[in-house]
Amino acid sequence: MSTLIYCSSTGFGAEGPFGGFPRSDAVAVALSGHISVNGSPESGPIRIGVPIVDLATGLYASIGILMAAQERHRSGLGQRVDTSLFDTGFALLHPHAAN
């Protein structure tokens, strides 16, 4: 058994129909729906000025790494942490996604 902690961060996950696509904050923001809930009637949908999905994905990855380190301390086993920009973007869309 390995004791390594491995973290990967992709645009759309390792597998699936978009699995091989490049990592891009702008594309993940658009496809997760953030552009559709920002802007005004005059401007139309608009991109957020801060790369919030990139930043939050890094934060989610660091939280996952800390959780993996705690589990390794408890059980002696390594863990794999997998984050994606699209998953983070969709998670940050609360409460708009439910609406």
pLDDT in tens, the chain (99 residues): 789 999 999 999 888 888 878 888 888 888 888 888 888 889 988 888 899 999 999 999 999 999 999 999 999 999 999 999 999 999 998 876 666
Amino acid 97: pLDDT = 65
Alpha helices in 1-99 (DSSP H): 25-32, 52-75, 85-91
Q: Which amino acid is at 3?
A: T
The b/e string for 66-93 (b: 16+ C-beta within 10 A; e otherwise) is eebeeebeeeeeebebebbbbbbbbebb
What's the pLDDT at 73? Answer: 96
Active site residue ranges: 54
What is the pTM for the complete model shown? 0.85
E-assigned strand segments in the chain:
5-10, 39-40, 44-45, 79-84
